[in-house]
């Protein structure tokens, strides 16, 4: 089980990040939803649709952790793409409504993690993830994709621990995809070693996340040429 104090803290931060996301989404007019996002090939509507879909899908991981029955996020990559496309095509009010429903359902179902966990790990994209990190996974999704909407909201507005959740998620994915050898360090004294750690890359949490997630190296310092990273 997750320490009750940790679960309360994680869900409180998720609530804060979700409220800011919803405020941003609700401020967007119909024509603003068709603007390209920072996710290559996706509009803002696609990003919002993904977040709505993801919230529902992550409930399957809660089921997996609490029952031991394997529940993949999606039946296939094609099914995931089709679900996102269908949601993105909804009228604005319906799309925003689906995001709200998804967020509420995940937060409610996550309370089940306060009980005994039958499965200590779950699988996300072929990567093993501690069941105790399921809420952190959702926080990472909300923070990164809020940033992807490219609005007046900036990643600096996210809670520092939410940024840490997003960085942990990014590093986990990059390791699984064979990212180049690096030591990643932040001004907040976080550190991750990938491979032999030969290249040192430093920034604050915001700057490092923007580079790892979307290749924006404006605020990153390195002791050698920065590599091209696999997408996550």
The pLDDT tens digits for 164-178 are: 999 999 999 888 888
Q: How far is 105 from 190, CA to CA, in rounded Å?
A: 32
Q: Chain-centre distance of CA 117, in angstroms?
A: 22
pTM of the model: 0.94
SS3 assignment, position 190: coil
DSSP secondary structure letter of residue 224: S
Q: How far is 229 from 214, CA to CA, in rounded Å?
A: 9
Which domains does the chain carry? 4-153 (1.20.120.450)
Rounded (10°) angle between helices 160-176 and 134-148: 100
Q: What is the pLDDT of residues 86-118, one digit of tens each?
A: 999 999 999 999 999 999 999 999 999 998 899
pLDDT of residue 1: 63
Look at 45 and 229; give whichever has higher pLDDT. Answer: 45
User: Quick one: tokens of 155?
Assistant: 């990643």
**DSSP secondary structure of 14-65:** HHHHHHHHHHHHHT--GGGGGSB-SSTT-BHHHHHHHHHHHHHHHHHHHHHH
Longest alpha-carbon distance in the chain: 49
Q: What is the pLDDT of residues 175-199, one digit of tens each?
A: 888 889 999 999 999 999 999 999 9
- Specify whether the CB–CB gap between 54 and 138 falls below 8 A: yes
pLDDT of residue 127: 82
Q: How far is CA 17 from CA 21, 147, 220, in A?
A: 6, 11, 24
């Amino acid at each position: 089980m997750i320490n009750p104090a940790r679960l309360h803290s994680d869900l409180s931060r998720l609530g804060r990040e979700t409220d800011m996301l919803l405020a941003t989404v609700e401020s967007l007019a119909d024509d603003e939803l068709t603007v390209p996002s920072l996710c290559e090939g996706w509009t803002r509507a696609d990003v919002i649709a993904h977040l709505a879909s993801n919230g529902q899908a992550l409930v399957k991981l809660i089921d997996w952790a609490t029952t031991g029955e394997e529940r993949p996020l999606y039946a296939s990559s094609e099914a995931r793409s089709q679900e996102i496309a269908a949601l993105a095509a909804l009228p604005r009010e319906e799309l925003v409504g689906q995001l709200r429903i998804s967020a509420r359902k995940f937060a409610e179902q996550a309370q089940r993690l306060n009980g005994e966990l039958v499965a200590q790990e779950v699988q996300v994209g072929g990567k093993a993830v501690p069941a105790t990190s399921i809420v952190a996974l959702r926080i990472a999704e909300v923070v990164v994709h809020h940033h992807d909407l490219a609005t007046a909201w900036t990643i600096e507005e996210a809670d520092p621990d939410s940024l840490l959740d997003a960085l942990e998620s990014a590093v986990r994915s990059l390791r699984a995809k064979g990212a180049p050898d690096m030591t990643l360090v932040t001004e907040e004294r976080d550190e991750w070693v990938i491979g032999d750690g030969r290249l040192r890359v430093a920034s604050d949490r915001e700057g490092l996340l923007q580079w790892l997630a979307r290749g924006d190296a404006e605020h990153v310092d390195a002791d050698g040429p920065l590599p091209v990273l696999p997408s996550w």
